[in-house]
Structure 1
């Protein structure tokens, strides 16, 4: 079951620089899946131009779908109970936050092309500008920050940021 939290559009907020479009959803125990997260993200990004935000570049949309999919999959696999996802779009970045009930801090595993699985968090780090983990008494929040414009001082080659 998906329960929308709150949705704000720029016309409902003051038109300050911190104006953002937000969407949230909560899934009950066992109800979350990566496909739902991707569907919600596509709908959110598709709605953004109707509220005054520019269209999301296709490469950013694909990176965002990957991040949302991996974060929700990890929440389903490693945490009992409900989980949720919050999306926020500003003029500078898209943030994808997934929360769950596990208090275990996730760790990026070393690259190993022979290992099956365990690559999701590394992928999220690769497509994101930064990833923030916030532990809470009842679980954790993981937020992936994806910039809307590429950083002019770096480029990504083989998953590693290097000076341009």
Structure 2
């Protein structure tokens, strides 16, 4: 696992965004670590984001990394970036699969398969970018009291 944290803490005088990146050879080993990375990064934000927003961001990163563990062989990378001007956290997960992520319609009778739907519900934006050897999924999660 590779870990990298940005060196700037966000303050009123220093609007430099906080950043964090991690990489795993096996995404399954990184699911809990990804949730912890979000909590650690957001704990450095002042003023602190609402608890609900932190929980939502942790759920989004957990679902994205879990999808990689289930559907994509090989390594996985995570990038987190605080977007102070937007009051949001950008979560980017890259993997080696060229399969299109499928958002299945909600079905309360189905066990599993709700992750991407949850990610879309909790995010302001969700996009997939195709890479030469895989894809990058980016979700922008609001860090405000009222979710959009």
Q: Aligning the two structures, in what range does the TM-score lie when normalised by the shorter sequence?
A: 0.7 to 0.9
Residue 162 of structure 1: aligned partner = none
8 Å contact kept, 2:54–2:143: no
Q: Which runs of 5+ in 1 are unaligned?
A: 157-164
- 31-40 vs 60-69, greater mean Cα deviation: 31-40
CA RMSD of aligned residues (A): 2.1
Aligned-pair CA distance for 1:136: 0.7
Q: TM-score, normalised by structure 2?
A: 0.87
- Secondary structure of the 2:120 match is helix
How big is each residue's C-alpha offset from its partner over 1:47-75, in whole Å with a ceiling of 9 and x where there is no partner? 233xxxx2111010010011000000001
- Secondary structure of the 1:32 match is helix
Q: Which runs of 5+ in 2 are unaligned?
A: none
- In structure 2, which of residues 10, 19, 32 is the aligned counterpart of residue 35 of structure 1? 32
Q: TM-score, normalised by structure 1?
A: 0.79
- CA separation in 1, counterparts of 2:39 and 2:64? 16
- CA separation in 1, counterparts of 2:135 and 2:102? 13
How is 1:2-151 mapped onto 2 (pairs within 5 angstroms)?
2-10=1-9, 15=14, 19-29=16-26, 32-49=29-46, 54-91=47-84, 92=86, 93-149=88-144
Stretches of 4+ aligned residues off by more than 6 angstroms: none
Say how many residue pairs are matched: 144
- Secondary structure of the 1:143 match is strand
**In 2 relative to 1, CA 122–23 (structure 1 residues): closer, same or farther, beyond 3 Å?**
same
**Higher RCO structure, 1 or 2 (CA under 8 Å, sep 6+):** 2
